[in-house]
């Protein structure tokens, strides 16, 4: 078998291994709510800004862990909210969040 044929067979096999991973979801399924901020199916691993004038309640209705931060751009004090969990932050204003599985 030629080197070119072996390379093509190897590339085809690699493609079969990668294809299932490419179809995996990169979104947290469900809705995250904090005050006026509502994120349906938010992106996994992406830092998102939060906006709330008076709310202290977080509703993480997603299937991922929400990491909420007191600073912008996912900085400052962080607290995790489990999938389908809730949190109350009367002493802190939350400014950003990201999700992880």
Return the pLDDT at 10.
Answer: 43
Whole-angstrom distance, CA of residue 65 vs CA of residue 58: 12
In three-state secondary structure terms, 7 is: helix
Going residue by residue through the chain (101 aa), what tens digit of pLDDT does each one get? 555 444 434 444 444 444 444 445 589 999 999 999 999 999 999 999 999 878 899 999 999 999 999 999 999 999 999 999 999 999 999 999 999 99
Please tell me the pTM assigned to this model. 0.74
Between CA 3 and CA 19 the distance in angstroms is 24
Nearest alpha-carbon partner for 36 in 20, 17, 49, 19: 49
pLDDT at 3: 57
b/e string for 17-31 if b means 16 or more Cβ within 10 A? eeeeeeeeeebbebe
Residue 54 pLDDT:
86
């Amino acid at each position: 078998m030629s080197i070119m044929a072996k390379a093509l067979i190897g590339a085809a096999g690699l493609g079969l291994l990668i294809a299932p991973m490419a179809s995996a979801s990169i979104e947290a399924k469900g809705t995250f709510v904090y005050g006026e901020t509502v994120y349906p199916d938010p992106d996994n691993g992406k830092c998102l800004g939060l906006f709330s004038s008076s709310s202290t309640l977080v509703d993480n209705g997603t299937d991922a862990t929400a990491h909420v931060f007191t600073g912008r751009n996912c900085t400052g004090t962080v607290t995790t909210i489990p999938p389908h969990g809730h949190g109350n932050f009367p002493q802190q204003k939350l400014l950003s969040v990201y999700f992880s599985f």
